[in-house]
């Protein structure tokens, strides 16, 4: 959906979810991330938390290929990844989605809410890869997974999200260019920033 900016030009808001930053050897500070994305032509840049989440606007009349549709997601993702690679010198991978789609993902949690269970969403820019992950990754007795198109919902006991069978499979190098993981709680914080004026 296009929104009117103060310049009078319509813009589309996008959410960018970066994979693999601020863990291991890749550090991308919020201020530097904002500056990098602004330098790539995104406007209204906001970062959320320190785990590689950003909200950006794209002027539709300047960038007609980044409207709020599937082709637009590819163009937004490609621009963001190119900027991150140039700005921070790493092989950047990004999932781009509209706030409306992000809300659907957060609201789609299928398992109910239980104390002591972490609610993760595994997100992708390539649903076929996610289907492959779902079909091949082992799932431990105390975790649950459910595939829903471009998101895989994963319920895991708190404190176990790095050492279960599914967690170990998810960390394999073959999935890195294709998936990123956020908790439902984080997605709701990102959504709040995306819905703010």
Say what the pLDDT of residue 22 is. Answer: 64
Residue 25 belongs to domain spanning: 2-97
Same domain, 92 and 109: no
CATH number for position 8: 3.30.70.1280
Same domain, 79 and 140: no
Same domain, 10 and 26: yes
Say what the pLDDT of residue 4 is. Answer: 47
Say what the pLDDT of residue 47 is. Answer: 94
pTM of the model: 0.88
What is d(CA 4, CA 11) in angstroms, rounded to the nearest whole number?
Answer: 6
Per-residue pLDDT of the chain (197 residues; tens, 9 = 90+): 445 444 555 789 999 999 877 666 777 888 999 999 999 999 999 999 887 899 999 986 555 454 455 558 889 999 999 999 999 888 889 999 999 999 999 999 999 999 999 999 999 988 999 999 999 999 999 999 999 999 999 999 998 888 899 999 998 888 888 899 999 999 999 999 999 98
- Contact assessment for residue 55 and residue 197, using Cβ atoms and an 8 Å cutoff: no
Residue 77: CA atoms inside 13 Å, Cβ hemisphere, count?
Answer: 21
Say what the pLDDT of residue 23 is. Answer: 62
């Amino acid at each position: 959906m296009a929104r009117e900016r103060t310049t009078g030009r319509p813009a589309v808001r996008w959410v960018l979810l970066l994979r693999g930053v601020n863990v291991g050897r890749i550090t991308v500070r919020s201020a530097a991330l904002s500056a990098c994305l602004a330098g790539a032509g995104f406007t209204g840049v906001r970062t959320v938390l320190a785990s590689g989440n950003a909200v950006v606007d794209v002027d539709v009349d300047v960038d007609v290929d980044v409207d709020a549709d599937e082709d637009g997601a590819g163009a937004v993702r490609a621009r963001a990844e190119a900027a991150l690679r140039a700005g921070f010198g790493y092989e950047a991978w990004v999932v781009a989605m509209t706030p409306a789609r992000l809300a659907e993902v957060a609201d789609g949690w299928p398992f109910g809410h239980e104390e002591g269970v972490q609610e993760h969403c595994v997100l992708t820019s390539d649903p076929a890869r996610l289907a492959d992950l779902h079909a091949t990754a082992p799932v431990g007795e105390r975790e649950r997974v459910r595939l829903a198109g471009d998101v895989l919902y994963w319920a895991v006991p708190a404190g176990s999200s790095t050492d279960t069978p599914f967690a170990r499979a998810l960390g394999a190098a073959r999935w890195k260019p294709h998936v990123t993981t956020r908790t439902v709680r984080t997605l709701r914080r990102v959504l709040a920033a995306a819905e703010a004026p």
